[in-house]
A and B are shown apart, each in its own frame.
Chain A
Amino acid sequence: MALFDKFGKLAQERAALVQAGLNPFGTRIDEVFSPTEGRIGEWRVVLAGTNNYLGLTFDPECIEAARQALEHEGTGTTGSRMASGSYGSHVALEAELADFFGRRSAIVFSTGYLANLGVISTLAGPGDIVLLDADCHASIYDACKLGGAQVIRFRHNDVADLERRMLRLGEPARNALILVEGIYSMLGDQAPLKEIVEVKRRLGGYLLVDEAHSVGVLGAHGRGLAEELGVESDVDIVLGTFSKSLGAIGGFAVSHHPEMELLRYASRPYIFTASSSPSSIASVRAALRTMRARPELRERLWSNARRLYQGLAGLGYRVGPQPSPVVPVLLGSSEEGVAFWQRLVEHGVYVNLVPPLAAPGGQALVRCSVSAAHTPEQIDHIIQAFASLRASFDGVIAKA
């Protein structure tokens, strides 16, 4: 088989799916007017498929901070964190994150994906055991593969299943790394973290929570699900990203374990890539200040999330298991999903289309992401667009 022959099946599937019209898996957003509005081709759309939970991408303070950093520190560091890529601002952001989370230390990575890769693959190597929730993000699966630990998967959000697998492992479970997420990216549901912590207290293990979708979203201060449920001291490591609530790009890990600092010398995804640009770091620092100072953003986000969730459920769509800023709408096949997604764009709404392979349950879904920056009128516009398609897709929705 020639090198590129392996893509033959993929090419056929792609051609069959996107025969005409817009491609949901390669959408070009031609203009961005605000955190919640853009233009795709001829359609002006409400952006409801971003992860811009607090709407900070156009925050004046964030933009000004980034502009200042551009002028004074340049466009990029052109170096690894281990070499010339650790500026004062990178280190300052780490101190601010450690302070925000009340942890001993923080490490900043160049993306959220690299944070997962860098921490998990370095901590859990050959001879170690990882227990991961079945619905964990691809970056966590990739990290496990890179690290080479023995990977045991438990059923999504099923604490009894986790416990059964830990009991089966016996003594080695006491040293296992348990991996869960605060809010799961596809269904918008939350981990049963209190119950997981109970299992950990009884059977041991280390608990890592990826709060990528829950920082800025959950908890009285926005520290995520662990804060929301009052179990922060039982969580060994929190991972997070700058590319959602904090409106830029990058990732981080915070922990109370002093040994975490040594990852800087052992983590290949930390060492062998360039560090985040100074402007990105500066805007994240400003966004973190804004997030701390303006809890009303979180209140507005949840008000919008509940409005959309209830509106879509009220139309008879099958939505996620609980209200969340991530509102999935379950559909049928890939073809039906593409058609639905294209019609939504024509009705002035951009969301994400998730193909069956990436969606729990093996059905296509469209994923709406709510922002604090959405106005109630924009949320109603989204609901109205779904209402307009309800009758045409009745059969698809009934099957979901």
Chain B
Amino acid sequence: MISQEKILERLFFYLNRLAPPGASIHPDIDLIQELGLDSVKVMDLVMELEDEFDLSIPLNILTDVHTPTQLAQAVFSLMEHADGVVR
């Protein structure tokens, strides 16, 4: 299975496309409050990650996600539990 670091690396790839030009992105930056993404962009990011990892990622995870690290953890956790309701 893919590592959490690799997930974070790919997440950064998409974040670089979505974030305002010149923004400094780091693993613990708050995606909305600090990086300035709006909620629609965060949901778009989730769709990109679904296709990247061929994984269903319900929007519900966003309730507890504020930073790239937390998002990577959530995706990793979904991969680990891919036998659940949502795969």
Contact = CB atoms under 8 A, between A and B. Distances in A.
Contact of A127 (B46, B55, B85): B85
B40 A153 contact: no
A168 B56 CA distance: 7
A294 interface: no
A134 B40 CA distance: 9
Contact of A153 (B41, B47, B86): B47
B2 interface: no
Q: How large is the interface on B (under 10, 10 to 19, 20 to 34, 35 or more residues)?
A: 20 to 34
Contacts of A91: none
Contacts of A154: 47
Contacts of B58: 129, 150-152
Contacts of B26: none
B47 A168 contact: no
Contacts of A362: 38, 40-41
Contacts of A153: 43, 46-47, 59
B56 A165 contact: yes
A247 B67 CA distance: 45
Interface in A358-387: 362
A98 B60 CA distance: 34
B43 to A, nearest CB: 6
Interface in B26-67: 38-41, 43-44, 46-47, 50-51, 54-60
Contacts of B47: 134, 153-155
Nearest to B33: A9
A150 B61 CA distance: 9
B87 interface: yes
A169 B56 contact: yes
A332 to B, nearest CB: 16
B48 to A, nearest CB: 10
A193 to B, nearest CB: 22
Contacts of A357: 38-40
A168 B87 contact: yes
A172 interface: yes
Interface in A119-149: 127, 129, 134, 144, 148
23 contacts: A129-B86, A134-B47, A148-B60, A150-B56, A150-B58, A151-B60, A152-B58, A152-B59, A153-B43, A153-B46, A154-B47, A155-B47, A164-B51, A165-B56, A168-B50, A168-B56, A168-B87, A169-B56, A169-B86, A172-B85, A172-B86, A357-B39, A362-B40
State the 5 A-B residue pairs at the shortest beta-carbon distance, nearest first. A150-B58, A151-B59, A150-B86, A357-B38, A151-B58
